[in-house]
């Protein structure tokens, strides 16, 4: 029997993870989402809200790239709201590689981080996901301190299975070396072991309703 590739195995695991998500009750998802949000907001990297300003002069709030949750994903609305209240510079992704019919054009710049000041800055976007308006301010990847990545599932070694579109893989290649990455995942949707490909990098932390898993290289 021919050995399956990591990509084929990942697709199989993605299917298993989606089945796990579909089986979760609304009551569980709501309660777990609230606990995940609290855990995410309280990790040291998030609470240490200051970083050095330009040329080391003064201090400025950290910049966080979050995402607007949809479907059965852990809700990010409370996280985004609290980040805005705390004065952090909050960004959400904007897909810029789609043509007028919504098809991907495979451009090098597939996604941008756009700063928002509130939910009024969002409009219906690609794949039915609320996204920043066209006139919002782009934020260079190297200025982002923390990225909250969407996922379908993770394992306890901080490997992540995304939705398969590859937007974040390209974006992460442009961020600074000190950018902290985290994924939000239901404990009940975690997998024991996720296959990886050579380009895959674990996230720095996986936040569930029960605990925060840390990647230890």
The CATH superfamily label for domain 6-49+60-214 reads NagB/RpiA/CoA transferase-like (3.40.50.10420)
Q: How far is it, in rounded angstroms, from Cα 42 to Cα 204?
A: 15
Query: Which tops the pLDDT comparison, 5 or 140?
Result: 140
**Residues linked to residue 112 through DSSP beta bridges, in sequence order:** 94
Enter the tokens of residue 27: 């009551």
Confidence of residue 103 (pLDDT cuts 50, 70, 90): low
* Token pair 């996204």: residue: 131
pLDDT of residue 59: 58
- Domain spans in the chain, listed from the N-terminal domain onward: 6-49+60-214
- pTM, two decimal places: 0.88
Determine how β-strand 205-207 pairs with β-strand 89-95. unpaired
pLDDT tens-digit map of 32-83: 999 999 999 999 999 875 555 555 555 577 999 999 999 999 999 999 999 9
Residue 129 has pLDDT above 50, yes or no: yes
pLDDT tens-digit map of 171-197: 898 999 899 999 999 999 999 988 887
Other beta carbons within 10 angstroms of residue 6's beta carbon come to 13
Query: Which tops the pLDDT comparison, 156 or 54?
Result: 156
pLDDT of residue 2: 44
What is the residue-averaged pLDDT of the chain? 87
Please give the distance of CA 187 from its chain centroid, rounded to a whole number: 17
Residue 202 has pLDDT above 90, yes or no: yes
Confidence of residue 1 (pLDDT cuts 50, 70, 90): very low
């Amino acid at each position: 029997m021919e050995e399956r590739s990591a990509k084929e195995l990942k697709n199989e695991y993605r299917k298993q993870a989606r089945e796990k998500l579909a089986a979760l009750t609304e009551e569980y998802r709501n309660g777990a989402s609230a606990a995940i949000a609290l855990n995410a907001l309280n990790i040291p990297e998030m609470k240490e809200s200051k970083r050095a300003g330009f040329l080391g002069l003064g201090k400025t709030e950290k910049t966080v790239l979050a995402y607007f949750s949809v479907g059965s994903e852990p809700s990010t609305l409370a996280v985004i709201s609290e980040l805005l209240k705390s004065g952090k510079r909050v960004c959400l992704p904007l897909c810029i590689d789609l043509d007028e019919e919504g098809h991907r054009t495979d451009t090098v710049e597939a996604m941008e981080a756009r700063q928002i000041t509130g939910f009024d800055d969002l409009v219906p976007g690609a794949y039915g996901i609320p996204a920043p308006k066209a006139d919002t301010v782009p934020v260079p990847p190297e200025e982002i301190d923390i990225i909250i990545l969407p996922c379908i599932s993770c394992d306890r070694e901080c490997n992540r299975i995304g939705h398969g579109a590859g937007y974040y893989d390209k974006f992460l290649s442009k961020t600074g070396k000190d950018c902290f990455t985290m994924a939000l995942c239901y404990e009940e949707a975690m997998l024991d072991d996720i296959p990886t490909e050579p380009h895959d990098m674990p996230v720095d932390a996986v936040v569930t309703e029960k605990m925060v898993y840390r990647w230890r290289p």
